[in-house]
């Protein structure tokens, strides 16, 4: 089918092709093709009224074929005008909101409107051209006029010749009418075509403006991206520097002292570690670790010397000895120093060996001095695992090598490298070795030396009983220990020992930084790949960029290499464009499926970024205790339960036994069959204390088996992080005469009324701490609870099966005029009883009513509670 509009005049018919309207008009009838099409229906609606004689209004009737032609032109023009009226206001609206409102929907509407205008302008232009062609060809118009008449056209002059003169006159008049008719429709068509072109030009200008606007925004985004990349790089460099040197920063949260005081910070018992790198800060030198301790006895004094790594100089420094042999392997020798003013002033006495020895030790055994160490001049694994021996008659005399040097290597997993000084026990020599596990080993082994002569050496491993830490990184030696030193105390006839330890493996911070930046790198790589993929889909590289430009034949001869390069680039760009088209056909991120993929990719990027951030800034994963004056301590955890809550108890013990300062867990068993200890998975000793009577007073029973001053009473259905326990324990050590807990209450009013924590916060203070989660001095608290004065209160506790914590608060309040409670806000706490259905106090209102009765009775017997203590009054931001 011909898509161009046409009007062809034949001898007995007029052929019409106006898009969806195709017809053959004859003198008395018209044949319509596809009369059910939109164009055919409109044509019939316009033609039928014209054929009705009543619509002529007394004027002369036009020939049938002219009525058909006019109806066809009118239907076509009206359809174009209606489409223009539909598109014009839509385009005007878009031109008003653009370019300020750049959204996907608005841009899509602009594209569709522009497409409609292009189609409308094309159709109006084609119809306009057809009408112009007809007006410029009078022959065709005259052929229409003579159709159905006894007239002909002169082939030479093209004049009409009719057999009846009147018909010629009528035909000439019709010719003028047809020209006027065609000119009328031509004007309407030109108006429609001109308006469509003007709107199209406006849309194109708007597109250009949008392109400029988007280019400006892209430049702004690129600038912001560049700034963010520079900022990210600066932050990364800062994080790297902080990761390397941050451990050198002095912490003002700790008041470091070198003396060990049993009363300092309620440190009873004093817990490991005894010395940390934070303590060394007082010596005026930064420290990243302390290791390799040695004991030295002088009179009644015990000195401990140890190695500390200076992260600035990356060397080890020794704290003291009478004759001291510090590690100097970086100098390539082994040196002996003598104390000038023990233990602080030393001088170089002699270079013993010109070898880079590490972990060296000298011992006098059976009349000879023996030097045992590892020679770093070897290569590979042997460098950290070999044992070499020298012997001499005096530490200052020449040293002779053993006949079988090197004695052994760690290649077979044995512990040949020294892990401390050898010692003599019952006349036999024992050597301490470190088990293979990196540069400094990860555990200690002990060997009995059976033969030690200048020509032979033989040792066998002996059992070494040492409880391995089961608290993981929460234990001070959870990751490794690589040095042990033992000494015999003649005055007390006891052996004492010191051991180093670390919560994390060697180079943990570097490892975390490396992993973190690897995650960042993978994220950046994915972003670049995603950007490249989107660019390949949405962008097309113009091939004209690489089209060879040759003006003369001689240019081609002289630019052959350049021509070949441009040809290769053109082929590459063509392949990339094909790849983009292929990917665009398979990946469409505008569909719901594509959007799901985009969301998944974004979630993966966020996840990788979070992992990288956690590795770099999330710490080493250990919930470490908080020291008081450089000292650590431990507490006993008490919980009261019965057989229906055994599943709670199992989770309770497994979780809290890994907390760093928990020394023992005591389970107060009130009712039912007590659990077997192997049912409870614990990292610390667990003791089940079975009570004869089911009473809440059992919570505060005096227990002489408790080995710590501090106890924490904690309900078995409360779960909170270990760090919350450590913070509460630190606050209690600062105030050991008080109740320190996590659930504050304010008893106020006349009479006193028990209310929840929300009321206390509304009033801005508290005067009670619930002992379901609280630290206290068990000697002080339990004696007060079982005093004669508290007998009335204990009977009420048995009567109501409630209020034991309220009673203890009254007893503490009456022991001093000061506030005897301290609050610590937990990071989070979960009440597991809500998931079990075995909560002790399921009816909250009834529970509060009973406690209000207790408050009224206790206030009559013991007086009032202490004055309200304000939140945020302690200054550590833990009581907000």
Q: 635, exposed or middle or buried, with CB in 10 Å at 0-12, 13-18, 19+?
A: buried
Q: Strand, coil or helix: what is 663?
A: strand
Two tokens at 712? 């924490």
Assign residue 74 a region: left if phi > 0, alpha if psi is -120 to 50, beta otherwise? alpha
245: confidence class by pLDDT, cuts 50, 70, 90:
very low
Do residues 733 and 658 touch, judged by C-beta distance below 8 A? Answer: no
- Which of 211-220, 580-589, 658-667 has the highest average model confidence (pLDDT)? 658-667
Q: Is the pLDDT of residue 760 over 90?
A: yes
- CA separation (Å) from 123 to 4, 83, 116, 126, 771? 8, 11, 11, 5, 89
Bridge pairing between strands 13-18 and 21-26 = antiparallel
What's the pLDDT score for residue 720? 93
Task: Output the CA torsion 880→662→444→322 (10° steps).
Answer: 70
What's the pLDDT score for residue 298? 59
Two tokens at 177? 């009418």
Range in 145-154, 237-246, 319-328, 444-453 with the lowest mean pLDDT = 237-246
Phi, psi (deg, nearest 5) at residue 305:
-110, 145
What's the pLDDT score for residue 26? 84
Which is higher by pLDDT, 380 or 149?
A: 149
What's the pLDDT score for residue 440? 47
Phi, psi (deg, nearest 5) at residue 572:
-65, -45
Angle among Cα 458, 464, 468 to the nearest 5 degrees reads 140
Do residues 449 and 430 touch, judged by C-beta distance below 8 A? Answer: yes
Q: Which of 145, 141, 139 has its CA nearest to residue 174? A: 145
Which is higher by pLDDT, 623 or 539?
A: 623
Q: Which of 674, 666, 717, 709 has its CA nearest to residue 692? A: 674
Percentage of the chain surpassing pLDDT 90? 20
What's the pLDDT score for residue 831? 83
Q: What distance in Å separates the CA atoms of residue 366 and residue 607, rounded to the nearest whole number?
A: 65
Which is higher by pLDDT, 273 or 428?
A: 428
Which is higher by pLDDT, 480 or 519?
A: 519
Phi, psi (deg, nearest 5) at residue 736:
-70, -10
Do residues 630 and 265 touch, judged by C-beta distance below 8 A? Answer: no
Q: Strand, coil or helix: what is 864?
A: coil
Q: Is the pLDDT of residue 793 over 70?
A: yes
Q: 104, exposed or middle or buried, with CB in 10 Å at 0-12, 13-18, 19+?
A: exposed
Do residues 91 and 117 touch, judged by C-beta distance below 8 A? Answer: yes
Element (H, E) at 445: strand 443-452
Do residues 199 and 94 touch, judged by C-beta distance below 8 A? Answer: no
Average pLDDT over residues 371-382: 70
Average pLDDT over residues 402-418: 70
E-strand ranges in 175-312 read 270-271, 289-298, 301-310
Q: Which of 199, 147, 194, 195 has its CA nearest to residue 171? A: 147
Phi, psi (deg, nearest 5) at residue 431:
-110, 135
Do residues 445 and 499 touch, judged by C-beta distance below 8 A? Answer: no
Average pLDDT over residues 857-878: 88
Two tokens at 750? 């006349």
What's the pLDDT score for residue 804? 94
Q: Is the pLDDT of residue 705 over 90?
A: yes
What's the pLDDT score for residue 82? 87
Bridge pairing between strands 334-341 and 13-18 = unpaired
What's CA 590's distance to the chain center, in Å?
27
- Which of 138-147, 208-217, 728-737 has the highest average model confidence (pLDDT)? 728-737
What's the pLDDT score for residue 496? 85
Do residues 712 and 638 touch, judged by C-beta distance below 8 A? Answer: yes
Catalytic residue among 805, 831, 877, 879: 805
Q: Is the pLDDT of residue 619 over 80?
A: no
Q: Strand, coil or helix: what is 767?
A: coil
Q: Is the pLDDT of residue 790 over 50?
A: yes
What's CA 47's distance to the chain center, in Å?
74
- CA separation (Å) from 467 to 236, 443, 444, 448? 41, 11, 12, 21
- Residue 805 annotated to the active site: yes
Range in 93-107, 178-192, 453-467, 667-681 with the lowest mean pLDDT = 93-107
Which is higher by pLDDT, 636 or 490?
A: 636
Reduce the secondary structure of 108-135 to three states and give it as a string.
HHHHHHHHHHHHHHHHHHHHHHHHHHHH
Two tokens at 249? 């920063």
Query: What's the length of the chain?
Result: 880
What's the pLDDT score for residue 305? 67
Average pLDDT over residues 862-866: 85
Instruction: Please count the other Cβ atoms lying within 10 Å of the Cβ belonging to residue 249.
Output: 10
What's the pLDDT score for residue 782? 95
Phi, psi (deg, nearest 5) at residue 636:
-105, 135
Phi, psi (deg, nearest 5) at residue 610:
-65, -40
Which is higher by pLDDT, 19 or 191?
A: 191
What's the pLDDT score for residue 832? 78
Task: Output the CA torsion 82→88→94→99 (10° steps).
Answer: 140
Q: Which of 714, 664, 717 has its CA nearest to residue 687? A: 664
Q: What distance in Å separates the CA atoms of residue 397 and residue 418, rounded to the nearest whole number?
A: 23
3: confidence class by pLDDT, cuts 50, 70, 90:
low
The domains of the chain, with CATH numbers, are: 6-217 (1.20.58.340), 272-502 (2.115.10), 510-617 (no CATH), 633-870 (3.90.550.10)
Percentage of the chain surpassing pLDDT 70? 76
357: confidence class by pLDDT, cuts 50, 70, 90:
confident
Q: Is the pLDDT of residue 381 over 60?
A: no
What's the pLDDT score for residue 762? 93
741: confidence class by pLDDT, cuts 50, 70, 90:
very high
265: confidence class by pLDDT, cuts 50, 70, 90:
low
Q: What distance in Å separates the CA atoms of residue 359 and residue 101, rounded to the nearest whole number?
A: 74
Q: Which of 75, 65, 71, 60 has its CA nearest to residue 24? A: 65
- Which of 57-71, 240-254, 298-312, 744-758 has the highest average model confidence (pLDDT)? 744-758
């Amino acid at each position: 089918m011909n898509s161009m509009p046409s009007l062809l005049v034949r001898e007995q018919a007029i052929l019409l092709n106006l898009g969806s309207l195709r017809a053959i008009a004859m003198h008395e009838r018209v044949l319509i093709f596809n009369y059910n099409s939109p164009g055919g229906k409109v044509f019939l609606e316009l033609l039928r009224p014209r054929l009705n004689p009543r619509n002529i209004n007394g004027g002369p009737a036009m020939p049938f074929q002219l009525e058909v032609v006019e109806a066809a032109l009118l239907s076509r023009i009206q359809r174009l005008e209606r489409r223009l009226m539909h598109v014009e206001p839509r385009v005007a609206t878009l031109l008003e909101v653009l370019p300020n409102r750049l959204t996907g929907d608005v841009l899509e509407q602009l594209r569709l409107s522009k497409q409609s205008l292009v189609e409308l302008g094309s159709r109006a232009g084609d119809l306009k051209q057809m009408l112009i062609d007809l007006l410029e060809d009078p022959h065709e118009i005259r052929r229409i006029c003579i159709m159905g008449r006894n007239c002909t056209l002169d082939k030479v002059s093209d004049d009409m010749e009719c057999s009846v003169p009147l018909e010629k006159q009528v035909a000439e008049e019709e010719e003028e009418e047809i020209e006027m008719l065609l000119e009328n429709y031509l004007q309407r068509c030109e108006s429609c075509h001109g308006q469509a072109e003007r709107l199209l030009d406006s849309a194109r200008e708007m597109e250009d403006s949008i392109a400029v606007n988007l280019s400006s925004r892209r430049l702004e985004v690129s600038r912001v991206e560049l700034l963010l990349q520079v900022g990210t790089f600066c932050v990364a460099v800062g994080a790297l520097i902080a990761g390397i040197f941050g451990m050198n920063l002095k912490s003002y949260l700790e008041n470091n002292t070198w003396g060990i005081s049993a009363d300092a910070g309620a440190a009873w018992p004093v817990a490991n570690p005894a010395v940390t790198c934070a303590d060394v800060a007082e010596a005026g030198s930064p420290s990243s670790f302390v290791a390799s301790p040695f004991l030295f006895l002088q009179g009644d004094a015990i000195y401990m010397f140890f190695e500390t790594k200076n992260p600035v100089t990356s060397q080890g420094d020794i704290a003291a000895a009478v004759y001291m042999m510090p590690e100097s392997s970086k100098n390539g020798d082994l040196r002996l120093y003598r104390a000038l003013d023990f233990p602080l002033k030393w001088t170089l006495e002699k270079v013993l060996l010109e070898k880079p020895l590490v972990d060296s030790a000298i011992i006098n055994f059976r009349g000879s001095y023996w030097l045992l160490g590892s020679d770093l001049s070897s290569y590979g694994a042997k460098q950290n695992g070999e044992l070499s021996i020298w012997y001499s008659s005096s530490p200052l005399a020449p040293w002779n090598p053993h006949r079988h040097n090197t004695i052994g290597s760690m290649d077979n997993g044995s512990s040949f490298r020294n892990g401390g000084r050898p010692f003599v026990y019952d006349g036999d020599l024992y050597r301490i070795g470190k088990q293979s596990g990196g540069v400094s080993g990860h555990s200690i082994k002990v060997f009995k030396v059976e033969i030690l002569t200048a020509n032979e050496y033989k040792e066998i491993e002996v059992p070494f009983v040492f409880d391995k830490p089961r608290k993981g990184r929460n234990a001070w030696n959870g990751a490794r220990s690589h040095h042990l030193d033992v000494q015999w105390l003649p005055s007390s006839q006891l052996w004492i020992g010191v051991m180093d330890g670390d919560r994390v493996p060697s180079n943990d911070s570097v490892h975390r930084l490396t992993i973190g930046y690897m995650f960042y790198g993978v994220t950046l790589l994915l972003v670049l790949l995603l950007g490249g993929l989107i660019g390949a889909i949405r962008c097309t590289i113009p091939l004209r960029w690489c089209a060879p430009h040759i003006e003369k034949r001689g240019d081609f001869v002289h630019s052959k290499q350049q021509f070949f390069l441009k040809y290769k680039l053109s082929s590459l760009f063509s392949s990339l464009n094909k790849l983009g088209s292929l990917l665009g056909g398979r990946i469409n991120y505008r569909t719901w499926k594509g959007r799901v993929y985009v969301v998944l990719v974004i979630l993966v990027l966020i996840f990788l970024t979070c992992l990288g951030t956690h590795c770099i800034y999330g710490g080493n994963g250990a919930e470490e205790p908080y020291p008081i004056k450089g000292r650590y301590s431990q507490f006993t955890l008490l919980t009261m339960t019965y057989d229906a809550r055994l599943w709670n108890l199992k989770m309770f013990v497994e979780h809290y036994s890994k907390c760093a300062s928990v020394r023992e867990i005591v389970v107060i068993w009130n009712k039912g069959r007590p659990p077997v200890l192997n049912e409870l998975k614990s990292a610390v000793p667990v003791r089940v204390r079975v009570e004869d009577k089911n009473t809440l007073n059992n919570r505060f029973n005096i227990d002489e088996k408790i080995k710590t001053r501090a106890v924490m009473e904690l309900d078995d259905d409360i779960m909170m992080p270990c760090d919350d326990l450590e913070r509460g324990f630190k606050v209690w050590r600062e105030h050991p005469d008080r109740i320190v807990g996590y659930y504050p209450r304010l008893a106020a009013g006349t009479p006193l009324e028990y209310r929840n924590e929300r009321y206390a916060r509304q009033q801005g203070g508290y005067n009670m701490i619930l002992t379901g989660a609280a630290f206290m001095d068990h000697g002080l608290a339990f004696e007060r609870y079982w005093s004669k004065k508290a007998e009335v209160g204990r009977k009420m506790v048995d009567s109501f099966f409630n209020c034991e914590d309220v009673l203890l608060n009254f007893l503490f309040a009456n022991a001093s005029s000061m506030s005897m409670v301290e609050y610590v806000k937990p990071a989070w706490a979960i009440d597991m009883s809500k998931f079990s259905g075995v909560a002790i106090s399921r009816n909250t209102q009834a529970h509060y009513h009973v406690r209000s009765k207790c408050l009224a009775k206790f206030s009559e017997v013991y007086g009032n509670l202490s004055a309200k203590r304000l939140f945020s009054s302690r200054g550590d931001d833990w009581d907000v």
